[in-house]
Structure 1
């Protein structure tokens, strides 16, 4: 099945499904009620399409992102969208379960990607994640009818951590695309040159840097894991799935011992499931589960 996507490109729904299954976390646990699963999958399809246009589309990506954002905004104003991924979001829009602002920030992040390829400081990178990652958590909380400042703040920590972990999985791939998310101040502090990011194996200095970055992201994820305790019902389970996927990704990244260039750190499903159970019955913590 294929459908129209921004700028006349075809959106491959099978491709979106494959990318959903390849994520570090379950986008929509199968045990969730049908409406919630549909809403989460629709949100993912829109967010993934925004990222794909920003990363992979042929032609003027800025224009394509602007076009997609305009059609998405119009859908929130009641217009009937042409793009299939936006049409999939219409039931949630019409029911008032999602708002446009978080999606606008996702588009802004991808527009920023078109001209910003380096981040000087960790704070600069965190500011980018507030556009590229945190809005997704806000959307998810809204779907579960959670409107609590403490929950939102913890959600932001979780989402930024998940984004950072994804960046640390993709250091070599991002470098090939001309982007470096490792803060320039950290590269300098560890004596790592940009050229080292394109090697087949991570240098000793890069491995040390990556262990530092992985631990920092893990600590941030752990600091947001208390979100689980603020939630009830399906929201608690769904968010636990996201955090469990992140914790399993931390495990996989740590298993590389910092050599993220030689091996793609793919989290194991069994590890993620074990973390999911732990989050439901134990105290959330960062690192491998205690036996």
Structure 2
């Protein structure tokens, strides 16, 4: 559920029931396409925002039950329309994603965690909410716990990608936290990993872990394939946090990721999952 090209999005996963593969692929195509508009290529910001507005216009047409009008987006929104109608998917989730992608075009700093959390609410949480709607499991408590998991995954992606985001002139570490720990932007420019940086990142890692652990009971409570998929996601996210700690928070020189050798252990743990303490 990582927004950075949706690396953890379960596209056509073998764990998905066959009847959900098409709607999941339709949601993915929408999210990936709009995310690429915001992030990829060399278009000017005004052109990116205009193209994202094309997505909004098509989404509004979909909401009114009208056919797509933009020929370049017609197939994408025709597929999405089928998924929305067949599974009663809330359009607000798609609108939130577009708002977050538009924000990415111009906003490169976050004053505090509340600002960052609001971004995650729109960039990450909708993915989990849509999956719960597909599985007809979108109860208020499930949605709350899904939001915690999805925001945690987004934060984990930020912490493992500090150096990558800096190359795009973006900083997702809240500025007030940086000031509190005595870390400046020069740290990112110089790839400086001293005690101050480690303390800052330890704080951010623990924040992400606490949110993941609070939401994690959802992975135990959901039945069948969605529960199994979510257990893998939760365990994978927590394992990346362990990797960040293992490199002593030096995410400048090594991007902590999951490797092929990690998956057998994660699959075994997911199969024998009884919760995380």
TM-score grouping bracket, smaller chain normalisation? 0.7 to 0.9
Give the distance between the partners of 1:47 and 1:248, measured in 2 at CA.
Answer: 26
| 1:96 correspondence with 2:83 | no
Give the equivalent residue in structure 2 for 1:48: 32
Give the distance between the partners of 2:238 and 2:231, measured in 1 at CA.
Answer: 10
| 1:141 correspondence with 2:125 | no
| 1:210 correspondence with 2:201 | yes
State the secondary structure of the residue aligned to 1:179: coil
How much is the aligned-residue C-alpha RMSD, in angstroms?
2.2
Deviation at 1:251, TM superposition (A): 2.7
TM-score, structure 2 length as denominator? 0.87
| 1:78 correspondence with 2:62 | no
Deviation at 1:194, TM superposition (A): 0.7
| Contact 2:220 2:273 (8 Å CA) reproduced | no
Change (3 A) 1:244 1:79: farther
Structure 1 unmatched runs, 5+:
1-18, 287-291
| Contact 2:232 2:267 (8 Å CA) reproduced | yes
Q: 1:66 aligned to 53, 56, 66, which one?
A: 53
| Contact 2:220 2:274 (8 Å CA) reproduced | no
Q: How many residues align?
A: 266
Give the distance between the partners of 1:251 and 1:280, measured in 2 at CA.
Answer: 20
Deviates more, 1:234-243 or 1:186-195: 234-243
Deviation at 1:268, TM superposition (A): 2.5
Q: 1:125 aligned to 110, 113, 116, which one?
A: 116
Deviates more, 1:271-280 or 1:31-40: 271-280
CA deviations over 1:154-184 (Å, ceiling 9, x no partner): 0000000000001111111212212111011
Give the distance between the partners of 1:26 and 1:255, measured in 2 at CA.
Answer: 27
Give the distance between the partners of 2:110 and 2:34, measured in 1 at CA.
Answer: 21
Deviation at 1:215, TM superposition (A): 1.9
State the secondary structure of the residue aligned to 1:268: coil
Give the equivalent residue in structure 1 for 2:190: 199
Deviates more, 1:34-43 or 1:175-184: 34-43
Deviation at 1:142, TM superposition (A): 0.3
Give the equivalent residue in structure 2 for 1:251: 242
Give the distance between the partners of 1:208 and 1:174, measured in 2 at CA.
Answer: 20
Give the distance between the partners of 1:73 and 1:88, measured in 2 at CA.
Answer: 15
Give the distance between the partners of 2:81 and 2:128, measured in 1 at CA.
Answer: 19
| 1:182 correspondence with 2:169 | no
| Contact 1:192 1:205 (8 Å CA) reproduced | yes
TM-score, structure 1 length as denominator? 0.83
